[in-house]
Amino acid sequence: MSLSSKKEKILSDGTPLDEVIVGFEHVNRYVDRRENKFIAKILPGEFYVTRSHTELIATTLGSCVSACIWDEENSIGGMNHFMLPLSEVEAHKITWGNVASDATRYGNYAMEHLINEILTHGGIRRNLKAKVFGGGKVLNQGNEVGLRNAEFVLTYLHQENIDLIGEDLGDVYPRKILFNPLTGKARMKKIRELSNNTIVSRERQYSQNIQHEPVEGDIELF
């Protein structure tokens, strides 16, 4: 269900859709009548930040990981969905300049964009908390890309002194995640049986795309 009609922009209690933070207009949002919330659904390579109490963030993960980061005191949070390049050999094909680890730089880029948007719109660095999900072995790649994604996100949070409140990483199953970015509450469902290969196909295409997309210069957290 899209938000194309006026009726679909109103929850069952009459609450209208809040205005999206500038820069996130492209993210698909729909109404979940069971939750009575607007859901922002992010795809591989996307992230989303909101201050709205009527909005949740959802995604489906295979080998990718998502970091759910929030500042409950200031009622803002967000989620990303990213993957490191499949191998160090492939990573060096990416036109990011001469850096020690292009793969790590890509992960930094994904994490720092999310965190900086939260800080820009009212979050406080010392208040940030995180939950992380994904990194399943679903692409049948010998280089264990899911494991590398999981190891990266844990190392990143530790180095940046962001409190890790919860995690569900690894295994062989895709996951559906539903995250409340104001409270930090997250629900996860492992997909034990795939009815189609949409998740795998989407992540395989994403992994191919990131080999050729240039990433901007270094990003600093503030």
Alpha helices in the chain (DSSP H): 88-91, 102-120, 145-159, 198-209
69 located within any domain: yes
One-letter amino acid identity for 52?
Answer: S
Does residue 190 surpass a pLDDT of 80? yes
What is the bridge-based pairing of β-strands 163-169 and 129-134?
A: parallel
216 located within any domain: no
Domains identified in the chain, total number: 1
Domain with residue 154: its CATH number is: 3.30.1330.200
User: What are the pLDDT digits (tens) for 85-143?
Assistant: 755 544 444 443 333 345 666 788 889 999 999 999 999 999 999 999 999 988 665 56
Q: How confident is the model at residue 145 (pLDDT cuts 50, 70, 90)?
A: confident
User: What are the pLDDT digits (tens) for 193-211?
Assistant: 665 577 767 777 766 666 5
71 located within any domain: yes
214 located within any domain: no
Q: For residue 218, which of 112, 114, 118 has the smallest C-alpha distance? A: 112
Burial (0-12, 13-18, 19+ Cβ within 10 Å), 12: exposed
Stated length of the chain? 222
What span, in angstroms and rounded, lies between the C-alpha atoms of 213 and 31?
32
51 located within any domain: yes
Domain residues for the domain of 84 are 7-209
